[in-house]
Structure 1
Amino acid sequence: MRSSPDPVSLRLRAWRQCQHLEVYDVETVLAVAETGSFRKAGHLLGVGQSTVTRRIRKVEDALGVSVFERSPAGARLTAAGWKFTLESRQLANRFLETVRAARTAGIGGKGQLHLGLTASLSRGELREVVARFQMRHCEVRLSFTETDLGELMTLLSHRFIDLVAAAGEPTSENGDMLLLTRVPLYIAIAADHPLTQQRNVEWSDVAMMPFMVSAAAPGPTIHDYIIRRVSDFAHKVRITVHRVRREGLMNLEGLGLGISLVCEQWCGVRYPNVVFIPLKKNCKAETIPFSLTWRPKNDNPALRRFLSLAREVAKADATSSGPS
């Protein structure tokens, strides 16, 4: 009986098959996907249609699957093609962001501070820290990166950013951390919904309603959080995942297509026909921790000054909130 290849062998085989692909091969796949035509893709890239055909065949040979369905009407992505183009476009975007971060890293020093975010700066304690820092240290150039937490932690590990601000309890595994505040949660809902007549809502009020989340971060985290909370009421959770970002999701809510869970930082921005209602659990405000993370060996003086201000704000917030 023949034994199946181990995962390492499969990865090595896949690597050998794809290692001859060039950047312009993937670029050609993306161009055909965008235009729906080999001829139009060639015109977009400034090459002949035969070159486009040859590059696509090269990619398909390396992957072992068809990327496009050809027809007189044009080229349509196969299921495998959809997956390949989606991952390739995301990888290309991340690569360009990394290149930009690397180019600016050398400019750093005392006059620059790179911050990574997973939440809006429209309101909340983090906005207060940034505003105070900007007022006191106007000579420091601030730059921001907003993406999912995993990518931010990678950038932090390689010193492309100095600080990550994200939801979560302080832990020591990712570096030094500071609990900045506990962020209140809200339900985002269409302004003409009957629930907007209430000053706040409990989970029992919304457990049966259709929720919406984004496929992009922090959508998956919010998805799991909603499931944990609604499961307490023995209801089947209705959650639709949309491939849109924050603004797109808010626009869908304004159309009455569902509700979503947001933290306080989102509430400082106005969206058409959308209101935010405070969420409570057992008559107490529902909150989540919000922390700052940095590497202890980072000797950027601007980071130290920023953290000093953050501790002031965190202390004032803890005093005003009282014991949790």
Structure 2
Amino acid sequence: MTQGANLTGRQDVFGIGDGFGYRDFIVILAVAETGSFRGAAQRLSQGQSAVSRRVQRLEDHLGVSLFERSPTGARLTPAGSNFTSRVRAVLHDIDYAIASARTAGVAGNGHLCIGMTSSFSRGPILSLFAEFTERHRGIEVGVTETNQSELLTLLSHRRLDVVILSEAPTPENGDGLLISRERPYLAVARDSSLSGRETINWDEISAQPFLVSSSCSGTQVADLILQRTADQRVLPHIKRHRAEHETLLSLVSLGLGVTVVMERRLGATIPGVSFIPIGGQDEAVPTSVIWRPENDNPALRRFISLARIEAKRNGALS
């Protein structure tokens, strides 16, 4: 710790007043470790007289001798031994604090809190997560899944760093980036008359019983169904269940209805269920990431940087 190279950029990190700082304590430790002023001077690439003056000035300030001088070297006094022991511990803590700050500055460690309205088993968001965790293994990632209103509230109060939404970014929510556009799919029983279709339109399925979860992700699915069938004569029949995605697919396999599944959730399949793309590419639903511009979390900056790469890869960012 007392090598001369360690002084760079840390000379004034810590002081005790009257102009004393990090360098003075490094000099004291160098004398203690080498047992001489000459040895400390050689280690620190300084003149012996400069080292001696620093020690003497500190001793005068403290009002106590730290070393016993002799022609053969310098020995610590009892006061000097106690002082250097404490100084060594303090400088170790400072070294650790500086290293931690610098590591966090390059997102080598830290924490990233991500909010979302639904899970994912494939697609651009999964790819983004995979690349981020692979590149930054030291960062602890926390995930919150709840409704959009609560997510935006948590984001505003810095309880979340970034939120993933199934809509285009808007300025009032903060900074945003469109990651991709994903098509909705209709999940039907494999023995249904609809199974086997290459594509299907909303007007062909508006009379079907839609099975929707009462969770936050189900609310978004219900909103999408209502939006896309708003011009139909018959209002869609939406059955809400206090059930998760996989359970709804099981009900679909039994022929109890259909459900709408976003492309990112197609990785979770259930025997007896077929997935049919709804409409054309114009039916694609945007997926975006939202964050607060005042958030200076280094881990967030690294996440957004990778998100831009993913967005460009998907053609969402020119």
Q: How far apart in 2 are the matches of 1:225 and 1:247?
A: 19
Residue equivalent to 2:128: 129
Structure-1 separation of matches of 2:117 and 2:196: 31
Summarize the alignment of residues 1-324 of structure 1 with structure 2, pairs less than 5 Å apart.
110-280=109-279, 283-284=280-281, 286-318=283-315
Note if contact 1:113-1:140 (Cα within 8 Å) is conserved in structure 2. yes
Q: Residue deviations 1:110-136, cap 9 Å, x none?
A: 421111111222011111111111121
Give 1:159 shift: 1.6
CA radius of gyration, larger in: 2
Paired amino acid for 2:314: D
- Paired with 1:183 and 1:284, the residues of 2 have a C-alpha distance of 9
Q: CA RMSD in A?
A: 2.1
Q: Go from structure 1 to structure 2 and tell me whether the alpha carbon gap of 1:312 and 1:303 turns closer, same or farther (over 3 Å shift).
A: same
What's the CA shift string for 1:30-71, capped at 9, x where partnerless? Answer: xxxxxxxxxxxxxxxxxxxxxxxxxxxxxxxxxxxxxxxxxx
2 CA distance for matches of 1:305 and 1:216?
A: 31
Shift of 1:285: 5.2
The AA in structure 1 aligned to 2:148 is L
Q: Which runs of 5+ in 1 are unaligned?
A: 1-107
TM superposition shift of 1:319:
6.7
Contact 1:164/1:292 (CA < 8 Å) preserved in 2? yes
Deviations 1:162-199 (A, max 9, x none): 11001111111111111111111111111221212112
- With over 3 angstroms needed to count, the CA separation of the structure-2 counterparts of 1:217 and 1:172, relative to structure 1, is same
Cα distance in 1 between the residues matched to 2:147 and 2:235: 28
Amino acid at match of 2:132: F
Are 2:246 and 2:268, in contact at CA under 8 Å, matched by a contact in 1?
no
- Considering fraction of residues, name the structure with more helix: 1
In structure 1, distance between residues paired with 2:277 and 2:177 = 25
If the length of structure 2 is used for normalisation, what is the TM-score? Answer: 0.62
1:271, distance to aligned residue in structure 2 (A): 2.1
Q: What amino acid does structure 2 have at the position aligned with 1:311?
A: R
Q: CA, structure 1 residues 231+174, in 2 after alignment: closer, same or farther (shift >3 Å)?
A: closer
Q: Distance in 1 between matches of 2:151 and 2:203?
A: 35
CA 1:142/1:256 → structure 2, altered by over 3 Å: closer, same or farther? same
The separation in 2 between residues aligned to 1:165 and 1:245, in whole angstroms, is 19
Rate the CA distance shift 1:310–1:240 in 2: closer, same or farther, 3 A: same
One-letter amino acid matched to 2:237 = R
Measured in 2, the distance between the counterparts of 1:187 and 1:312 equals 30
CA change 1:310–1:284 in 2 (3 A) is: closer
Report how far residue 296 of structure 1 moved: 0.9
Kept after mapping to 1: 8 A contact 2:113/2:160: yes
Give the residue type in structure 2 aligned to 1:165. I
Could you list the structure 1 runs, at least 4 aligned residues long, displaced by more than 3 angstroms after superposition. none
Which amino acid is the alignment partner of residue 138 of structure 1? Answer: R
The CA deviation at 1:291 is 0.8
**Structure 1's 223 and 158: CA in aligned 2 closer, same or farther, altered over 3 A?**
same
Q: Using the alignment, how far apart are the partners of 2:122 and 2:202 within structure 1?
A: 24
CA positional deviation for 1:225: 2.3
Give the C-alpha shift of residue 241 in structure 1: 1.5
More off after superposition, 303-312 vs 113-122:
113-122
**Contact residue 190 and residue 274 of structure 1 kept, 8 A:** yes
Following superposition, the deviation at residue 204 of structure 1 comes to 2.7
Query: Could you tell me how far 1:316 is from its partner in structure 2?
Result: 1.6
- 8 Å CA contact 2:117–2:146 kept in 1: the answer is yes
User: What is the rounded CA distance, in whole Å, between the counterparts of 1:256 and 1:117 in structure 2?
Assistant: 30
- The alpha-carbon distance between structure 1 residues 162 and 250, as it changes in their structure 2 partners (threshold 3 A), is same
Report percent identity of matched pairs: 42
Aligned length: 212
Q: Secondary structure at the match of 2:160?
A: coil
